Structure 1
């Protein structure tokens, strides 16, 4: 579907697959970030796409930010610009109103883990290493890692991972809730596609609102979160797909949603 230098995407049966291909380990340069944003923007407005899968080419999902760009960021204010640019890339994916799955096919470190955390679901190969090693460079995760990781695994575990900087294996990541599923390395994309094929049969009118209810609700207290949920459920009851879903239930058949 796209012809870019570092990031491309394809589409089939309502599933978009975005592949980062910046050898040897798919580091996040400014150019890679820009191309990710472009691809996600196209997918957001493609009415045929219901689910997005994000993965890396070769032996890495993403090994982190491009350290070669760091020396140019040492003047006051330059690192902030870089961090916000990467954060803009991550938010584009995080706020996509469609389910997203990170297929972690290899090394997932630093900015790569920050990127993976923007996805709704993470599936990792059994030999994958995940971590935030920035502390070993005298840095810390600066593109949302200090904010997203505690929300996923809790404050204590998140601080330990960032303080120590050592990677963990996929099994430990699954145990602490950082990844949803661990599969054999050669089955990562198959597992992601299997889940995506289920999700594409659901309706985006509900999927997108589930995502909004959870993500925005986490920023609210319980009462306001429930009130926001009630607004969204009222919206769903005004859609064509709720009618189709109910009719399919009464007629004992599979629903055929139109995402309207």
Structure 2
């Protein structure tokens, strides 16, 4: 099984983040494979819409894998495999593609949020055109609690989606909010 599963049927690409044992945290392999998946969706004329979800019932994505992805991106460690090498060869391009950091994606994307949606996972969900979430889901841009800033585009996206005061609260506190609260403020 791949860390990013892509299934296409009836014009719908279902992209599944598949590291449930690691809370679907994004490691270098997942980032590269996710970038490849978005490129496939963009270029395949038979795909009309994409649905992004996470494997397992507990977590959509906990964000970046602090041990493998963040240490590589901050150069705290060197590359150890082909996925690290591919990411570092075009870090900006791969990360921008993987995290959908563009305003002109040609096909609709739906984030089917099925569990914990924190940090980079929330940033990826925010990049989708539509977000649907189960009642048990919690959302957080929790990077600030680790002395980081959201690097997936949410600093720019979030204030365009919700009132400025709500965006500031989510970005500066990093506290989880319920799916109900996310719905009330317009995130889902």
What do residues 178-227 of structure 1 show as CA deviations (whole Å, max 9, x unaligned)?
11xxxxxxxxxxxxxxxxxxxxxxxxxxxxxxxxxxxxxxxxxxxxxxxx
Match of 2:15 among 8, 13, 18: 18
Q: Distance in 1 between matches of 2:71 and 2:184?
A: 37
Q: How does 1:188-227 map to 2 (within 5 A)?
A: none
Gap change, CA 1:35 and 1:14, over 3 Å in 2: same
What do residues 123-160 of structure 1 show as CA deviations (whole Å, max 9, x unaligned)?
00000000111111111212212111111113221111
Q: How does 1:1-260 map to 2 (within 5 A)?
A: 5-24=2-21, 25-58=23-56, 59-69=58-68, 70-74=70-74, 84=92, 85-91=94-100, 95-179=104-188
Q: Distance in 1 between matches of 2:74 and 2:8?
A: 40
User: In angstroms, what is the RMSD of aligned CA positions?
Assistant: 2.3
Q: What residue in structure 2 maps to residue 191 of structure 1?
A: none
TM-score (ref. length: structure 2): 0.83
TM superposition outliers: structure 1 runs of 4+ over 6 Å? none
Q: How many residues align?
A: 173
Q: Secondary structure at the match of 1:64?
A: coil
Q: Please tell me whether the aligned partners of residues 94 and 118 of structure 1 are also in contact (alpha carbons under 8 angstroms).
A: no
Q: Distance in 2 between matches of 1:35 and 1:73?
A: 16
| Higher helix content, 1 or 2 | 1
Structure of higher CA gyration radius: 1
TM-score (ref. length: structure 1): 0.61
Q: Distance in 2 between matches of 1:75 and 1:49?
A: 37
Q: Distance in 2 between matches of 1:83 and 1:127?
A: 34
Structure 2 segments unaligned to the other structure (5+ residues): 79-87
Q: Please tell me whether the aligned partners of residues 138 and 179 of structure 2 are also in contact (alpha carbons under 8 angstroms).
A: yes
Q: Please tell me whether the aligned partners of residues 20 and 26 of structure 1 are also in contact (alpha carbons under 8 angstroms).
A: yes
